[in-house]
């Protein structure tokens, strides 16, 4: 059957109106992830966080498995959730819990849209890994927080794809899908992260990482890092060309990145992306 073309302007207007009227619910953070997020932000102990995670047997097992993976494995094998949390660190545990529950949101019965779900998820993993590596070299920036910003930067695509799947099933033109994601995902992503009660430093990421000329001043922030990581990923995939204008963007200048010279941290980013993908894909 021929792919369905829809009026993107009408669809965007209708989707915005339905979200505003709460006829379409934005994704909610599952209870276990919300409780872990709150506990980590409240600086609860590894023991307290372990007690929360232990209520979900599958999640506990997954975190123990990750703690024994090549990236984290120590001299002694981890056999309890509390030791796993101590080894991983509470902020990384928060990221992994959010990532694991998010992964379950990426599903649809549409073959066309399934590819978009999969591609968006994998892009997020790659950009999260690059964000973490870039942040490691920046004083005052939390690399785990930067990684989370990269992982969540395109979460606004979820309601768009879900609504398309419900309204048009298999017969959606791929160009239409991409146009709608480009137009709507940043603003919807900010709405989702705001509803999940993330700090402003992260809720600004979905919109800000697409504003190439954005200049927040002399201090590097998480938007700068995710913006640079996104461009680095697109460049490494051959999806954008290097131009003088690109190399002179404020975020890249602050981070000291020159795409004409080097892709920073390529090997480290690749290692993190592989491990993160192994951890969050199941």
Same domain, 141 and 204: yes
pTM of the model: 0.87
Same domain, 94 and 134: no
What tokens appear for 166 in the block? 């419900």
What's residue 7's pLDDT? 64
Same domain, 242 and 175: yes
Answer whether residue 204 is part of any domain. Answer: yes
For residues 91 and 244, give the distance between their C-alpha atoms in angstroms, rounded to a whole number. Answer: 37
Closest CA to 264 of 255, 273, 272, 253: 255
What's residue 1's pLDDT? 44
Same domain, 51 and 147: no
Same domain, 68 and 86: yes
For residues 29 and 164, give the distance between their C-alpha atoms in angstroms, rounded to a whole number. Answer: 21
What's residue 259's pLDDT? 65
For residues 259 and 239, give the distance between their C-alpha atoms in angstroms, rounded to a whole number. Answer: 13
Q: What is each CA distance from 52 to 57, 72, 104, in whole angstroms?
A: 11, 22, 19
Q: Are 230 and 207 in contact (CB under 8 A)?
A: no
Using the 3D structure, point to which of 105, 121, 139 is the last residue of a domain: 105
What's residue 220's pLDDT? 95
Same domain, 65 and 115: no
Using the 3D structure, point to which of 40, 73, 105 is the last residue of a domain: 105
Answer whether residue 171 is part of any domain. Answer: yes
Q: Are 173 and 5 in contact (CB under 8 A)?
A: yes
What range does the domain containing 57 cover? 23-105
Answer whether residue 49 is part of any domain. Answer: yes
Answer whether residue 173 is part of any domain. Answer: yes
What's residue 170's pLDDT? 55
Cα-based angle 232, 252, 268 (whole degrees, multiple of 5): 45
For residues 115 and 85, give the distance between their C-alpha atoms in angstroms, rounded to a whole number. Answer: 33
Using the 3D structure, point to which of 50, 71, 105 is the last residue of a domain: 105
Same domain, 272 and 135: yes
CATH number at residue 239: 1.10.3210.10
Helical segments of the chain, H only: 8-20, 31-41, 46-53, 57-67, 81-88, 90-103, 111-136, 143-152, 157-168, 174-195, 200-203, 205-208, 222-236, 244-247, 250-255, 266-280
Same domain, 30 and 123: no
Same domain, 183 and 87: no
What's residue 239's pLDDT? 81
Answer whether residue 143 is part of any domain. Answer: yes
What's residue 89's pLDDT? 92
Residues in the chain predicted with pLDDT less than 50, given as ranges, are 1-2, 262, 282
What's residue 174's pLDDT? 74
Same domain, 140 and 278: yes
Same domain, 100 and 174: no
Same domain, 140 and 129: yes
Answer whether residue 39 is part of any domain. Answer: yes
Residues near 100 by beta carbon (within 8 Å), at least 6 away in sequence: 59, 62, 280, 282
- Domains held by the chain: number: 2
């Amino acid at each position: 059957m021929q792919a369905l073309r829809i009026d993107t302007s009408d669809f965007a207007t209708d989707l915005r109106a339905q979200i505003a009227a709460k006829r379409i619910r934005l994704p909610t953070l599952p209870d276990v992830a919300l409780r872990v997020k709150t506990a980590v932000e409240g600086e609860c102990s590894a023991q307290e966080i372990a007690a929360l995670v232990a209520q979900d047997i599958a999640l506990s097992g997954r975190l123990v498995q990750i703690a024994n993976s090549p990236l984290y494995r120590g001299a002694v094998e981890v056999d309890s959730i509390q030791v796993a949390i101590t080894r991983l660190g509470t902020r990384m545990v928060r990221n992994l819990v959010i990532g694991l529950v998010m992964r379950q949101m990426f599903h649809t019965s549409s073959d066309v849209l399934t590819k978009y779900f999969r591609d968006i998820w994998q892009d997020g993993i790659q950009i999260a890994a690059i964000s973490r590596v870039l942040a490691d070299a920046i004083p005052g920036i939390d690399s785990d927080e930067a990684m989370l910003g990269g992982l969540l930067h395109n979460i606004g695509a979820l309601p768009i794809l879900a609504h398309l799947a419900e309204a048009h099933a298999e017969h959606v033109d791929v160009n239409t899908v991409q146009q709608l994601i480009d137009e709507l995902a940043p603003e919807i992503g900010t709405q989702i992260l705001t509803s999940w009660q993330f700090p402003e430093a992260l809720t600004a990421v979905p919109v800000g990482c697409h504003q190439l000329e954005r200049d927040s001043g002399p201090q590097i922030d998480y938007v700068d890092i995710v913006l640079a990581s996104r461009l680095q990923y697109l460049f490494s995939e051959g999806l954008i060309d290097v131009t003088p204008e690109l190399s002179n963007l404020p975020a890249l200048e602050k981070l000291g990145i020159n795409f004409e010279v080097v892709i920073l941290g390529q090997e480290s980013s690749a290692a993190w992306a592989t491990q993160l993908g192994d951890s969050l894909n199941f």
